[in-house]
Amino acid sequence: MSKVRIAIINFLKDNNSWSSSGDIAKAISYKASSVRISLTSMYRNGLVIRREKPESQGGFLYRKSDVPSGFGVSGKISEFDRCIRGVRA
């Protein structure tokens, strides 16, 4: 996992609220374009949750998902494991 992604995950874990990509970029001191690219990839992999920003057309707010993240942890496998645990309970 890249340094940008690790910084984003740590920020979202500590913040625990909806944040825009610009706010995240300022907080972790990385370029906004790098943060946006990483967030898009992280959203596709299930590491972050995204919703539309009400006051900005085309803008999004992000929050860390409940899926475990880290080196060697696949978002899809983690989500599958969570579903299986729910069925077995």
| Domains, the chain, with CATH or none | 3-88 (1.10.10.10)
pLDDT at 75: 65
Cα distance between residue 80 and residue 29, in whole Å: 34
Residues of the chain falling short of pLDDT 70: 1, 67-75, 89
Contact between 22 and 36 (Cβ < 8 Å): no
Q: What is the pTM of this model?
A: 0.73
Kindly report the average pLDDT of the chain as a whole number. Answer: 85
pLDDT at 89: 67
Cα distance between residue 43 and residue 63, in whole Å: 10
Up-side HSE of residue 16: CA atoms within 13 Å toward CB?
A: 2
From residue 83, alpha-carbon distances to 31, 32, 66, 76, 78 in Å are 36, 34, 12, 11, 9
pLDDT at 28: 96
Cα distance between residue 53 and residue 24, in whole Å: 14
